[in-house]
Structures are given as structure tokens and as C-alpha cells.
Structure 1
Amino acid sequence: MRYLVALGLVALAACGSRGELQPTAGKSLPVKPYGAVATPDANALMQPSVQARPSRSDDLQRSSERRERDEFDLPPK
């Protein structure tokens, strides 16, 4: 039982370690994309693109502002 607890603590401690990302043994990073100046490294490949995580482009209205009429806000039938 003590062995399982010790093994669990070691595994839990290993979860928090962070280091540089490296490709697995025998593998290489993807080739340079067409039109790119340089081949991206592992950290650059982990960043989501703008299409994957778009930013918010609409402005929120405050409750004190008068709202425009919405033609699609129809009452239920």
C-alpha cells in the first residue's frame, strides 16, 4: 500500500514539471509552410492561429444605452 502511495506522489510531482518541447525520438518537426520565412519551432506550433481562436469584434452595449430595433427579435407563436 505504501508503495502505491509513494508511486502516486512521484507521478503527481512529475505532472508539474515543464521543459522545452522536443519532437519524439526519431521524428522531426513539420516542414516549413509555403511562403513562410523560417520553419516554426515547437512553441510556435503550439500557439493557436487567429482562425482557431478569433478575438471578439463586437462592442457590448451598456444597459443605459438605447438599443436599436431588431427586426429578427420576434415574439413566440
Structure 2
Amino acid sequence: MKRIALALLAAGALAGCGKMQPLVPAKGKALPVKPATSPTQPNATKLLASPPQLRPGRSDELLTKSQVRPDDHFDLPPR
């Protein structure tokens, strides 16, 4: 039983250490066409990077005191 556990542990450790290499298109495939407004063809790394608009900043504003909500004229009960 110990040998099986040791073999599984070794296989897991071996599978976890893979060679890191840059991304390239699959054989027979090409990168998407160059955007019309871009001066150069973006590579795979640039295509995978998300713009700041997709990752908005975090708001750390804490609620300091409770406040009563004002009346909402559109908050009607269901019919």
C-alpha cells in the first residue's frame, strides 16, 4: 500500500512540473487578422491580456453608519 501511495505521489509531482513555453497557434492555424486600428499584429500574449476596463479597481469604501433608505415610488407590491 505504501508503494502505491509513493508511486502516485511521484507521478503527481512529475506531472506538475511541465515545461513552460510561449503560446503558438496550432499547426495549420494562424493568429486572427490584424485589427484595423492596430499598428502591428498582436501576438498570443497580447491577445490574452485583458484590458483594464475588464478588471475594475476595488472599492474599499466602508459603510460607516446605517442610513434609512428614502421612499421609492417604483417599489410596488406584485399584482
Length-normalised TM-score, structure 2: 0.54
| 1:23 and 2:25 are equivalent in the alignment | yes
Gaps of 5+ in 1: none
How far, CA to CA, are the matches of 2:24 and 2:40 in structure 1? 18
How far, CA to CA, are the matches of 1:30 and 1:3 in structure 2? 43
Q: Equivalent residue for 2:50?
A: 48
- Structure having the higher Rg: 2
Gaps of 5+ in 2: 71-79
Alignment of 1:1-77 (within 5 A): 1=4, 4-14=8-18, 17-55=19-57, 60=61, 73-74=68-69
Length-normalised TM-score, structure 1: 0.55
1:51 counterpart SS class = helix
* One-letter code aligned to 1:74: R
Task: Give the aligned CA root-mean-square deviation in angstroms.
Answer: 3.2
